[in-house]
Structure 1
Amino acid sequence: MIKNYLKIAWRNLIKNKVFTLANIIGLSSAFAVAILLVMTALFELSFDSFHENKASVYQLYLSNQTPRGTEIGTSNPVPLAPALMDEVSGIKRAVRRVSEDALVTFNNKELNLDAEYVDPSFFEIFTFPALLGNTESPLPDKNSVSLSEESAQKIFGSTDNVIGKTLSLKIGKEERPFTVASILQNSPANSSIDFDIVIPFENHPEYETDKDRWDSQFLPIFIQLDKGVSVAQFEENTVPFTELHYQGGIESDIRDGAVPDANGKYKQFHLMPISNMHFATYKSGVAIVNRTFPYMILGIAFVIIFIVSANFINMSIALSEKRLKEIGMRKTLGAVKKQLFIQFWMESLFVFGISLVLGLVASNMLLQPFKTLFNTKASFADVAQPNVIFLFGIAIFCITLVAGGYPALLMSKLSTLRALKGKLDLGKNRLRNSLIVLQFTIAIILISGTLVLHGQIEFMRNKDLGYNKEQVVSIPLNGKKDSYRVVELLRNELKGNPDILNVSGADNNLGKGRDGSLSSSMMGFDFEGRGVVTNTITVDYDYAKTLDLELVAGRMFDRNYAADSLSLVINESMAKQLGKEDPLAVSIPMDDSTAYSVVGVVKDYNFQEMSREIRPLTLFMNKDWDLYYAYVKIAPKNVAKSFEAIETAWEKVEPQAEFLGSFLDENVDRTFRREKTMTTIVTSGSILGILLSCIGLFAISMLVVAQRTKEIGVRKVVGASVSSVALLLTKDFLKLVGLAFIIATPIAWYFLNEWLQNYASHVALSPLFFVAAGLTACWIAFITVGSRTLKAASANPVRSLRDE
């Protein structure tokens, strides 16, 4: 029986080659893309899920009620973790970690590695297994380090016989020997914590000076709760602790006009589950877990499958009318509803089966280009999970059930006589029209999203950031030499080059450099009886000149002023926060014995990510604080030659250190890489969605034209023009696209407007975006349907009237 069903299914598919090919091409393409998208989304959603203790481990953060409103802080003081362990019940473990670069030397070979300074309990909280060496305690003492497999290969050439070897690390301004105690498995691709080397926290350059200071906050802390202790219990247990250790800060905030939260607290510790850490953002004083990106990818995959399934269902229903006589004969010979249903369902399964195999082959071929294009480390292992395969199987079962079952249900309700006459009243094709409207609604939403995303990226790319990003190269200072000495040596090396205009340095990068760093520093102090908070940057001479910052008052740091180590340059936002009519007359006491004078005010510029508002900023020039980046400004001509000159100079100044220079506009582009990836995915989804919708629309238009062949002949005989006949056949489809536009526009506007609120400055949400999306959809639909209807309208009416 099954063999007979398959044989009939094959004959029917061969008989309707155009529709079979359209379905297989559409389904195969959709399956291939959906598999890759689902793979990427599941990889993103799996971040930090490999930790065995993930159910009981949290990142600590503090909500602060300040005069400026609620602020969230994840940076904590050094003594906080041990104090929590001693004074707060319900905590099993507390671990500090700081991510920094570490310069490692072995046999005159220098490497900059991603380092984690951690407490020993780090390996008891997080699952980063040791493969070699001390597997029970990867960091047995203060002078030991752990290396990842990859970094061990870089340093020693292999992982064999490296346990016990000594290497040198630059800690602060001194080099110290460390012993390799263990080799760790490389951190998984879906880990928020990524490292090459792990170093005991006591070796951090700021540990000794800050181990008893509560006002120096620079590290995240992770907490593992005791079994049975809830997050709410922990937060309640920390209330007395917070009121004791943060008493001074609370009193200052109350003095300055801070308002308590709903629970009457001014400072409160909270916990963020580590499974949410990758998706956490802290905005407007609220911790937000935002999984928009992976869910959007899943949504696009679902949309693509839906569009192609709607095509399949529509074509199955439309083709069923051509098989009425076959159904009538089978019913005459005794076929029952169940047999008709199985026959139609078997044909659907047959097409889906072929398409799924082709889709798997295509997705495998596209895997590497896809991973490169979307910058993902996802793999087929992310989708080859039993629950994912089960859900995918259920989806195919349901789709084929509808595609095969609905036509079979229609046929089985017909009397044998009506079936043999070949007449089927499908009413007003409500299901077909509804599916077409839904398809184009989705397509218009995706096109609108594509246009707005492209608009926002161009807006960010072309926005005036307040500094010269096209002509300035930033270079991480990743060598052994003193940072100020390196900047001075670069100046001297490049002095005679007419294309090199200025050289300076700072302790932070603008944008995200090739070293992947993106950091900022903040400090607070009392000024005239109230608290002031500012971002800080340590800079070298010629900083403003190199970046083309606009000076609105006073001066920048100058070599002719010996006291500039006790001077400040602030931005306009900081001047506004100080509230003085003449900010140059301000003297700020940074501690009990030292006061700094404001000597200049620069115009506000984007020193942080573009999604943030420009905040108060204070520039220091204190040579006790290191620089981490050099900036070189070049002339607009001979850009490539100038870059080569900078690299050559670097190799002379720091011959052992890798050159990681990049233009600031490249750095800025890296800060919105996620937006670019999102735009690429939405654009690809839009194109594919439109193409799949057009395949279905083209096939449906062929059937409609075939059903109205005699009508076309009659109209032409009585004098109808080709254009009027073509318009008559096309306008019904264009009405559906117009209805889709009306439905899609408010939906797209709402979601895109919500997304744009994540940016302090963004493109205006113009109606033109949506009009352009609607017109694009209408134009594509008109071309798709019109090409077929025009051909039918141009046919000889005699041939049309002969058709039966």
Structure 2
Amino acid sequence: MLKNYFKIAWRNLLRNKVRTTIHILGLSLGIAICFLIFNIVWHAYSFDNFHPDKDRIYRITTMNDYGDMKYQYPAAPGPLGEVIADELVGVELAGRLYTLPETHASIPSTDRNFGRKNYIAFADQGFFQVFPRKWLAGSPEDALSEPNQVVISERSAQVYFPNEDYAQILGKEMRYVDSDTIYATISGIVEDYEENTDIVFQDFISFPTIKRYEKEDWYGLHSWNNINSSSQLFLKTADGYTESDIQKGLTAISEKHYEEEEGETTFGLEPLSELHFSSGLLDETGTSKALIKGLLIVGGIILILACLNFINLETAQAINRAKEVGIRKTLGGDRSQLVLQFLSETYLMVIFSVLVGLVFADLILKSFQSYLPSGFSIPYLAGFNLAFLFIFSLLLTLISGFYPATVLANYRPQRALKGEKEGVGRFSFGVFLRKNLTVLQFTASLIFLVMVLVINSQMKYINSQPVGFDKDAVVYAYLPFMAGYEKASLLRDRVRQLNYVEGASLGGDAISSAGIWTSDVRVPNDTSEVEFFTQVKNVDSAFVSVNGVQLLAGRNLSNQDNEVLVNERFLKEAGISNPQQIIGTSIDFRTDPQLVVGVMRDFNSRSLKEEIMPMIFFQQPDYFNVISIKLSDGINLAAAMTGLRDAFSTIYPFEEVDYLFLDEQIQKFYEEDMRIQTILSFASILAILISGMGLFGLSSFTISQRMKEISLRKILGASLGQILGLISKEYVILTGVSFGLAAYPTYWMAQQVLESYAYRISMPYFQFVLGGLVLLSLCLIIVGTHAWVAARTNPAEILKDE
């Protein structure tokens, strides 16, 4: 019986090639998108879910609340790691990690250098208890118990000591250069994680080494008030203790150690499952949950559109199979058999759609690879993917095919065999449903289209806005960490001698970056004192000229340590209207009073999503980490980059350099917005394509059903324009209803997007009208084409049998 069902289904698919093609293309696009999104979500949520008792592992976070300004850091102060085991009840294990970016690694015995690595950190024994690993050599009990010990991963061992036995590597010495030179003996080798993880570190220097070198102050581990993102603290709760129990204990600790501090500092718990979606251990931005939710919504809408297409077209064409249903019922077929017959046809189309969808998924994956996580791929034959496709195809068959199958199975045989249409002259639920499904398709397509137009307008506005400094032809590079001011100044002087360089400046960061340094400041104003939060930048005296920033009052920085510049917003916060008024004023900033010598015009040091903050510019040469270089116009960029790299390698022969263009880095502020725009553009194309295919099939069928009416109207004198208008009127009305339904949801979503920018366009209502006109034009082209063909048909050919 089942074989017979599929044989008949196959014949029906071949008999109706246009209908079958539309269904398979529509469903395959929906399947491809859902399959790809399923793998993206699966990949994102697969990180660090393999650790034992993962549901009981948390990372400590710190929140500073200054009223209007709140800052949350994925970090913990150093002293908390020392007292947490004694002062917090319910903690089974606690592990400390202090990340060391850009740390130079070498082997002193052979003088082999491995350059700077990002995968080196200080760790204590508790860390390997919270996150246990397989030990290939050494013992977890004492591997990190003493100063100057280091545990390395299998991958590091193969790089440092290729082809050597792990047991022979124990006891060998490594040299690490960070703020100081650290010699550490290899005390253990652990296996690398093969699963997806954010704990990617490969060299773990023992935490007691910090005390041996008396570097607690340097690393910011000495004070409860120092919150450094490198300082990480993980804990594993004991059985029977909930997250709220631990949170109460953390609140008590913060109240104890911050009772006399201004503002409010509290600690929080971040579940291990959220680590991948937070700021990473290497200080990179985590995967956006909002983007993942958006992908799920987009995938769901695209799939729903494909299913609506199927239902709409199948119910419209059901009348053509009425006689088939009548014969089957007359020959003894019951309703359940008919439903199974029509569901088998749907299932066969879904199977073909899955195969085509996998091809589409691979094409989409290759086209959008740069938007996906590094190293992401689809394991097509993995168990979870095969299970997904099997279950998904069954659900899709039921969702898409059940209603059309029920409609077909409910035809009454005596009327079907006579060729009578059910419900003539009465309300037709089928017609009502088809119109509403068409409206829903148009509505979804319109929302996608208008949102693309709105985001595009906002991005054009952002790119056209002046940022207050010269971002063109400026490159910058990060200097080796703590390599010293002497070498940095030598590099600056050497770069200035190049004939294609207009100027060079040293600082703590580029003029515009995602990083931020903040501090509180107190400014005298008449008889009172104003205190507020300000952004801080460490710059030299060339900062103003290299970056093209304008001074409004006063002078530039000299070589005095206690001089600062401020910006216009600083004056506003201090309640000062005249820039000259603050020149020569002493303000309380950091530990010593600072003299204000100049006022800068406001500029955007961060994304235009944020308003300009009050800013202080001061000099601290020992902490210069970046060199910024202004290039001349009309130069050979390739040759210039080669010259700049040569200058860098002359001063830092063992370091690699990557010069970054400032304007390109500024564009990265809006990477997620550009991704959203690209995804929505792609989704709108798919939505319009699916809706267009459905409209093509539906209009073709409905017009074919009205051919006799059209022929009679032509005989009675109706013109071509009148016939086109008659047929198109219905679809114009449907498009208008869709516009009305889409207007408010689109307005609300556009408003949410625009409000995320401090600098934004007003609501672009014209884009709403433009989107509606585009959709209406597409609708009229599709329907008008069919109507024109129908209107040009000879009436005699249609009415010759009447």
* Normalised-by-shorter TM-score class: 0.7 to 0.9
Name the CA shift for 1:246/1:719 in 2 (closer, same or farther; >3 Å).
same
2:181 equivalent in structure 1: 175
The answer to whether the 8 A contact 1:103-1:478 is kept is no
- Mark the CA change 1:139 to 1:692 in structure 2 (over 3 Å): closer, same or farther: farther
> How does 1:94-493 map onto structure 2 within 5 Å?
95-98=96-99, 100-106=101-107, 107-121=111-125, 123-124=127-128, 127=131, 129-130=133-134, 132-134=136-138, 136=140, 139-148=144-153, 161=166, 163-172=170-179, 174-183=180-189, 191-201=197-207, 207-209=216-218, 210-219=220-229, 220-250=232-262, 253=263, 266-279=264-277, 291-364=289-362, 366-381=364-379, 384=382, 386=384, 393-425=390-422, 427=428, 429-478=431-480, 481-493=483-495
- Opposite residue 451 of structure 2, the aligned amino acid is G
Q: Deviations over 1:482-534 (max 9, x none)?
A: 3552343243244141x21111122224556xxxxx53323335556665433
Measured in 1, the distance between the counterparts of 2:144 and 2:366 equals 37
- What CA distance in whole angstroms lies between the structure 2 residues aligned with 1:591 and 1:202? 30
Matches within 5 A, 1:348-747: 348-364=346-362, 366-381=364-379, 384=382, 386=384, 393-425=390-422, 427=428, 429-478=431-480, 481-497=483-499, 499-510=500-511, 518-524=514-520, 531-558=531-558, 562=559, 564-580=560-576, 582-590=581-589, 594-623=592-621, 625-638=622-635, 640=637, 641-747=639-745
Q: What is the 5 A alignment of 1:754-773?
A: 754-773=752-771
2:283 is matched with none
4+ residue runs of structure 1 moved beyond 6 angstroms? none
CA distance in 2, matches of 1:188, 1:509: 37
Change (3 A) 1:725 1:157: farther
Q: CA deviation at 1:202?
A: 5.2
Q: Distance in 1 between matches of 2:543 and 2:217?
A: 31
How far apart, CA to CA, are the structure 1 residues paired with 2:741 and 2:754? 21
**1:754 match: secondary structure:** helix
Other structure's SS at 2:61 match: strand
Gap runs ≥5 in structure 1: 254-265, 282-287, 513-517
2-structure distance, mates of 1:671, 1:203: 38
Matched to 2:416, the amino acid is A
- Equivalents in 2 of 1:414, 1:228: separation in Å? 62
Return the letter of the residue paired with 2:60. Answer: L
Number of residue-to-residue matches in the alignment: 771
Distance in structure 2 (CA, Å) of the matches to 1:803 and 1:221: 86
Q: Partner of 1:258 in structure 2?
A: none
Are the structure 2 counterparts of residues 591 and 21 from structure 1 closer, same or farther at C-alpha, using a change threshold of 3 Å? closer
The aligned residue for residue 55 of structure 1 is 55
Cα distance in 2, alignment partners of residues 104 and 165 from structure 1: 14
Cα pair 1:99 1:115 within 8 Å, conserved: yes
**Deviations for 1:605-651, whole angstroms, at most 9, x for unmatched residues?**
2323443332232222122x322211111123225143333233223
* Matched residue type, 1:585: G
Check whether the contact 1:145–1:178 (CA below 8 A) recurs between aligned residues. Answer: yes
Which residue of 2 is the match for residue 26 of structure 1? 26
Structure 1: distance between partners of 2:134 and 2:505: 43
Where does structure 2 lack aligned partners over 5 or more consecutive residues? 280-285
Stretch moving more, 745-754 or 671-680: 671-680
Contact conserved, 1:535 with 1:617, CA < 8 A, in 2? Answer: yes
Is the CA contact (8 Å cut-off) linking 1:570 and 1:600 kept in structure 2? yes
Most deviating of 350-359 and 67-76: 67-76
CA RMSD of aligned residues (A): 3.2
Hey, what's the Cα distance between the residues in 2 that align with 1:153 and 1:511? Answer: 39
Taking structure 1 as the reference length, the TM-score comes to 0.88
Contact 2:97–2:124 (8 Å) recurs in 1: no
The 2-side partners of 1:508 and 1:369 are apart by 35
Q: Kindly provide the amino acid, as one letter, of the partner of residue 215 in structure 1.
A: N
C-alpha separation between the residues in 1 aligned to 2:388 and 2:464? 44
Per-residue CA deviation, residues 285-325 of structure 1 (Å, 9 max, x unaligned), is xxx99732111111111112111111111222222211112
**How far has the Cα of 1:346 moved from its partner?**
0.7
- Aligned in 2, Cα 1:306/1:590: closer, same or farther, shift over 3 Å? closer
Contact kept? 2:556, 2:597, Cα under 8 Å: yes
Deviations along 1:678-734, one digit per CA (max 9) or x if unpaired, are 222221111111111111110111111111111111111222222321232222223
Give per-residue Cα distances to partners, 1:106-138, cap 9 Å, x unaligned: 445342211453431563465473563346366
**Contact 2:507–2:626 at 8 Å: present in 1 too?**
yes
Deviation at residue 169 of structure 1 after TM alignment: 1.7
Q: Distance in 1 between matches of 2:383 and 2:416?
A: 46
1:523 partner SS: strand
Structure 2 CA distance for partners of 1:483 and 1:440, relative to 1, 3 Å: farther
Q: Specify the SS of the correspondent of 2:441.
A: helix
Q: 1:160 to 1:456 in 2, by over 3 A?
A: farther
The match for 1:259 is none
Calculate percent identity across the aligned residue pairs. Answer: 27
Partners of 2:125 and 2:756 in 1: CA distance: 37
Which residues of 2 match residues 82-97 of structure 1 at below 5 A? 82-92=82-92, 93=94, 95-97=96-98
